[in-house]
Amino acid sequence: MSDRLIDTRALEAALAEFARERDWDRFHNPRNLLLALTGEVGELAEIFQWKTDAEAEGVMGTNEAEHVRQEVADVLLYLVRIAMVLGIDIDAAVRNKIAMNARKYPPLRDTGDQT
């Protein structure tokens, strides 16, 4: 689809198989996954909690970079699982929300080329 913004189909298939191979579907209900998502967002926040903005912006040049990548991935994985168990089409939801945001927050007028 030419207007697809995000493609999670291969990831969803991989996560479905991953859960099935471990008999984890019985744990992956919406409230459990929301608590797990909260936990992973907390782990990501902890990496940044005592950093200045400058330190935070430079974190990927430090030995914490791999930790940041792992926590970002963990948040994403649980979010995709939530969408999966709820039957949400992630790409459609994202495109719709961006369209809503664009109506709510119109672009600044470009006044730079008025000649």
| Spatial distance between the Cα atoms of 96 and 71, rounded to a whole number of angstroms | 27
| Backbone dihedral angles phi then psi of residue 113, each to the nearest 5 degrees | -115, 30
Looking at the Cβ atoms of 1 and 115, the one nearer to a copy of itself is 1
Least separation in angstroms between residue 47's CB and a copy of itself is: 9
Least separation in angstroms between residue 115's CB and a copy of itself is: 20
Least separation in angstroms between residue 2's CB and a copy of itself is: 9
Count of CB atoms within 10 A of residue 82's CB? 19
Looking at the Cβ atoms of 50 and 115, the one nearer to a copy of itself is 50
3-state secondary structure 57-84: HCHHHCCCHHHHHHHHHHHHHHHHHHHH
